[in-house]
Structure 1
């Protein structure tokens, strides 16, 4: 029988308790995250939204071990990453986490396949050929594997970045504004592939975005304001997300502990 801790690790890909991040000191201290408690469900697509300066990218960076915390605890699965030394944390990020960013970060001298397998090559690991083939076919990259980034469109480059993030079969994929540099059509393609990664490949995705349309591809939207999670929305639609954002912008939102104005979520 699983212990409660093991059951939690099975159900959640990442979690944080009392997560606090402050920049500066004294009167110049800026509290980017204020005692955040959050659970990221395994095998689900979670979007994180909020106005500029709300702490959404800081939350992602702390959950992913890219930034240190000022207080609180963060776990990836059953591993508390806030206790890890730098070398252990580097190994965990390499082996258990995938990353996508607004900039594609592809190596221009390598072709698409070489870019996809680069993290595995650096780690001295051979790719799981069957898994790699599934990713390549899911992302529609089979006929682009020999092309260098300069020979690919923006959408194709982000698909390569998506495949690279998935290549090691990570427990968790963090995507920070992954459609920010793409036109609407290419952005929709990439969002569709992230959705497919969750539904067909069993991945867990956390995406930071400011776009209600992008958030509508997720299973759950978390709203941040002033360094705190102030609301969440399951089964989001673009219209419901936009309306909720308007409520917060007008001061009509609520803290999770309080009550919110009714918003229809289609």
Structure 2
């Protein structure tokens, strides 16, 4: 695997151009000022293809979580722009950004973030209720079938396994038909079997439901589920693998010194 910067890499072969769901241009994030300034992200430009599964990897401190937060509108860049569909995030006020995150972006976190007093179904439809939207029952049925939860909808989180709780979180993220779903280490708290199930459900959301998924992970096996893996180092986008295998991802991470043989 070459260390050629991403900007110099040839585009992956494709039979038709993929419309980006997200476009980032010159994204830079600097914390602090003067001598104490730290650049977390350094002039990153990238397109996230719609209807595809993208993984973001890199050593600790590489900027992968910063990139996700900026793409999702959870933080604002020091420089650069993020465009979701036709909407530039830097043109939005706080209340508009809140609505955009609620209506057009889904989140799946390592810690599940489910309300313990609600059933699985109530947790899934909660974003719609908070937004004052009607529940699209056929869509919710399709989502719960896709993640294999139809027989667990009346159970509360404490009655579910870790893998089932994460599937509830995925279904909740899908409930509003978002433009993009962001996963922040979504398998980090799961055993390998449950983690594989969750990754399979994310993949099904892409293949069968037409979703766009962006996942930050440190796990080469998890990254191998993606269509494309983006690699960051020292705040810069430095490489990309299309149609990855776990061995390819592992070899690339070894080049960063993140893992050893």
Alpha-carbon distance in structure 2 between the residues aligned to 1:113 and 1:120: 12
Q: Say how many residue pairs are matched.
A: 241
Which residue does the alignment assign to 1:218? 226
- 2:203 equivalent to 1:195: yes
Alpha-carbon distance in structure 2 between the residues aligned to 1:232 and 1:128: 38
Alpha-carbon distance in structure 1 between the residues aligned to 2:179 and 2:23: 13
- 2:245 equivalent to 1:245: no
Alpha-carbon distance in structure 1 between the residues aligned to 2:183 and 2:135: 22
Which residue does the alignment assign to 1:32? 40
- Confirm or deny: 8 A CA contact 1:53 1:226 kept in the other structure: yes
Which residue does the alignment assign to 2:14? none
Root-mean-square deviation over aligned CA pairs = 0.9
Which residue does the alignment assign to 1:182? 190
- 2:17 equivalent to 1:17: no
- 2:122 equivalent to 1:111: no
TM-fit CA distance, 1:126: 1.2
Match of 2:165 among 147, 152, 157: 157
Alpha-carbon distance in structure 1 between the residues aligned to 2:131 and 2:219: 35
- 2:172 equivalent to 1:172: no
- Structure 1 gap segments, 5+ residues each: 1-9, 251-266
TM-fit CA distance, 1:249: 2.1
Alpha-carbon distance in structure 2 between the residues aligned to 1:88 and 1:222: 29
Match of 1:83 among 84, 91, 97: 91
Which residue does the alignment assign to 1:74? 82
RCO comparison, higher one (Cα < 8 Å, 6+)? 2
TM-fit CA distance, 1:201: 0.5
Provide the secondary structure at the position in 2 that maps to 1:66.
Answer: coil
- Confirm or deny: 8 A CA contact 2:57 2:229 kept in the other structure: yes
- Confirm or deny: 8 A CA contact 2:59 2:256 kept in the other structure: no
Q: Normalising by structure 1, what TM-score? A: 0.89
Match of 1:229 among 217, 221, 237: 237
Which residue does the alignment assign to 2:64? 56
- Confirm or deny: 8 A CA contact 1:127 1:168 kept in the other structure: no
Alpha-carbon distance in structure 2 between the residues aligned to 1:52 and 1:83: 31
